[in-house]
A and B are shown apart, each in its own frame.
Chain A
Amino acid sequence: MDKFTSLKGIVTPLDRSNVDTDAIIPKQFLKSIKRSGFGPNLFDDWRYMDTGEPGMDNSTRPLNPDFVLNQDRFKGASILLARKNFGCGSSREHAPWALQDYGFRVIIAPSFADIFFNNCFKNGVLPIVLDASVVDQLFNEVDASPGYQLDVDLDAQTITTPGGNVISFEVDAFRKHCLLNGLDDISLTLQHVDDIKAYEQRRRQDTPWLF
């Protein structure tokens, strides 16, 4: 997994609640058996005027000029500012894969859906929960200042605004440790092979029908 330590980047505002993972990456792109290459189809239904299919040359497709990702001032953004319950719906990890492949490494919202939130951490993407009022304020600031950037420091658990305002955020200590060091969960778990085997042995006695 890619490490995440700190990042300064342009912020793209996505002003909708309950953005679901079907919207983040529509189902037709889930047919891929790879982990990469989903970025051009991130928010496909909202981003393009035509219907996207796997294998299309996305560079020649008609863009929806009203959608934020297509606006010049947000080009090269690495931080997505969103509304409540971001990432609801399907468990597809293709959603964080698509966000990351596009270039987003941080997503800020008042709340996230559980499975999506969890999937982000497995892919070096940092989801940050802030109070709805703080998120509102950030939306206002992004709107008012083209080129608006935020400085995110995971170790210090802070976001610094261009005006020098420092916002603290919470993050689970274990997940933070994994992100900072780019740790792979599976190798961590495999350090406890003996515990798993001992558990299985006990359960084979107590609940033999499960084996």
Chain B
Amino acid sequence: MVGKTLYDKLWDAHVVRTEEDGTTLLYIDRHLVHEVTSPQAFEGLRMAGRPLWRASANLATADHNVPTTDRSKGIADPVSRLQVETLDQNCNEFGITEFDMHDPRQGIVHVIGPEQGATLPGMTLVCGDSHTSTHGALGALAFGIGTSEVEHALATQCLIQKKSKSMLVSVDGQAGNGITAKDIVLAIIGELGTAGGTGYAIEFGGDAIRALSIEGRMTVCNMAIEAGARAGIVAVDEKTINYVRGRPYAPKEDVWEKAVKVWNELHSDENVEFDHVVRINAADIKPQVTWGTSPEMVVAVDARVPDPAEERDTVKREGMQAALAYMDLQANTPVNEINVDKVFIGSCTNSRIEDMRAAAQVAKGRKVASNIKLAMVVPGSGLVKKQAEAEGLDKIFTDAGFEWREPGCSMCLAMNADRLEPGERCASTSNRNFEGRQGQGGRTHLVSPAMAAAAAVTGHFVDVRELEGGVANG
């Protein structure tokens, strides 16, 4: 018998029917909903007089528009407020569970899914958000969809799909001390390019991926979309099972053993052939910093800003020149001489408790540099915030001069009040350095939480492993 990839297994288990040309009706186990991409979908249901297919498959939260400052007075911006209130009303009308802005479990949709056990191995999971790939870290087939598909999922619990090609990205060997999941995934994107994964579902494997915690794997899968792949997945192992155990939406005792048995099969069969395989040597990966306006424009912190003159491809060269102009950088500038104005630690990529701890270790006993106008830490959920506070991390941050905020998407995309002003340069733990992403005219450099904290306390990019005085352990 021909072996199957993990992607094959997840796909096959969810096929409702397939047409001759391969067009497939795929069943969706979990649908996560947020305020930005859902109002038109609910409106579509109402206009067509269609009911919701299965309320219990849905879980909603408000994350993009919510303020990260005091929420007791609600949302100041009336347009944002209306969108959040519309979600509340829609969830109420259709009977969908929602963690609203004042719920202690509210947070970024891609943080709360796994945190609640609403994301489980073997599931198909969708959300009207491209970073839905995050949930693949648990061995789920998870991908982002547009609003028409949100409506389709609400109305039918299915989507019309065609199967993607399969790619294995194997990160072999052991990553060096101080190298994080973020550095690994940025290095992968640097290798694949921003469209290298287009048309593929990427399975991340290899020793360096296996060595990552589940939260680290989420960081990696989160950015699969930045390499063009709608879905990123990691095989289930002991860590996955241990992560899921005991979470509110996880299987209860009576079916737990049965579930684990099914989940333990969620890995690619040995010697199965992928459509494409990329191998990366983990030991070669250094802390990464993006220099341009696409996540593929990334180098190691000890490198220099690339020189377009050395690029032979015309379209690429012009892209580099445009990026340098936008970023106000000169070719060949050492990355560690680039000063930053603001620091953002948060987003669905890096706002979980381990991210908070990694940043706090760097911030501990240090002060935010005088040239930094704002350094903010935005936990991914109310529960992450609570846990961090129980560990005293908030105190470490505020003592160092960081602001400690309420959970949400915040300055990753600046839909709320948190944003860069034109020309400001930011060390950000988010996922996109596109023009204007963090505010019109803002300049984003993507880094890991530890690297962002190091930039905050020194005022410029620096290899966190070489920070004077070292980094506190635990």
List the interface of chain A (C-beta within 8 A of B): 16-18, 20, 22-23, 26-28, 30-35, 45, 51, 54-55, 83-85, 88-93, 96, 111-115, 118-119, 122-123, 172-174, 185-186, 188-190, 192, 195-196, 199-200, 203, 206-211
Contact = CB atoms under 8 A, between A and B. Distances in A.
Contact of B156 (A18, A90, A196): A196
A122 B146 contact: yes
Given A18-B194, A199-B27, A33 B43 contact: yes
B262 A207 contact: yes
Contact of B158 (A54, A172, A189, A210): A189
A186 to B, nearest CB: 5
Contact of A22 (B155, B230, B434): B434
11 contacts: A30-B415, A31-B77, A54-B79, A85-B228, A91-B129, A96-B146, A118-B149, A172-B162, A199-B27, A200-B157, A207-B262
B440 interface: yes
B432 to A, nearest CB: 6
Contacts of A185: 148, 152, 160
A23 B145 CA distance: 19
A68 to B, nearest CB: 15
Contacts of B166: none
B40 to A, nearest CB: 5
Contact of A16 (B19, B199, B322, B414): B322
Given A18-B194, A210-B29, A173 B21 contact: yes
B442 to A, nearest CB: 11
A16 B319 contact: yes
Given A185-B152, A196-B16, A206-B262, 18 more contacts: A20-B294, A31-B36, A32-B83, A33-B40, A33-B43, A85-B194, A85-B198, A88-B194, A89-B432, A91-B144, A93-B146, A93-B148, A111-B198, A115-B146, A118-B149, A172-B23, A186-B48, A196-B25
B146 A31 contact: no
A55 B259 CA distance: 51
A189 B160 contact: yes
B39 A210 contact: no
B65 interface: yes
B332 interface: no
Given A195-B16, A195-B25, A210 B120 contact: yes
Contacts of A209: 120, 250-252, 255, 258-259
A83 B48 CA distance: 37
A126 to B, nearest CB: 15
A189 B255 contact: no
Contact of B39 (A33, A96, A188): A33
B39, B130, B155, B199: residue with the most chain A Cβ atoms closer than 10 Å:
B130
A186 B156 contact: yes
A195 B16 CA distance: 6
B434 A188 contact: no
A186 B315 contact: no
Contact of A122 (B16, B120, B149, B434): B149
Contact of A111 (B48, B158, B195): B195
B17 A195 contact: yes
A28 to B, nearest CB: 7
A111 B396 CA distance: 47
B122 interface: yes
A199 B16 contact: yes
Nearest to A51: B440
B437 interface: yes
A179 B160 CA distance: 15
A93 B147 contact: yes
B82 interface: yes
B415 A192 contact: no
Top 9 closest A-B pairs, CB basis? A209-B251, A93-B146, A122-B148, A33-B39, A119-B146, A91-B144, A85-B195, A93-B147, A91-B130
B104 to A, nearest CB: 25
Nearest to A18: B294
A84 B128 contact: no
A187 B72 CA distance: 43
A97 to B, nearest CB: 8
Given A84-B195, A115-B146, A185-B148, A55 B79 contact: yes
Contacts of B198: 85, 111-114
Contacts of B350: none
A17 B262 contact: no
A88 B19 CA distance: 29
Contacts of A23: 434-436
Contacts of B155: 186, 189-190
Interface in B149-174: 149, 151-152, 155-158, 160, 162, 164
A113 B316 CA distance: 17
B97 interface: no
Contacts of B230: 114-115
A92 B37 CA distance: 7
B21 A174 contact: yes
A203 B228 contact: no
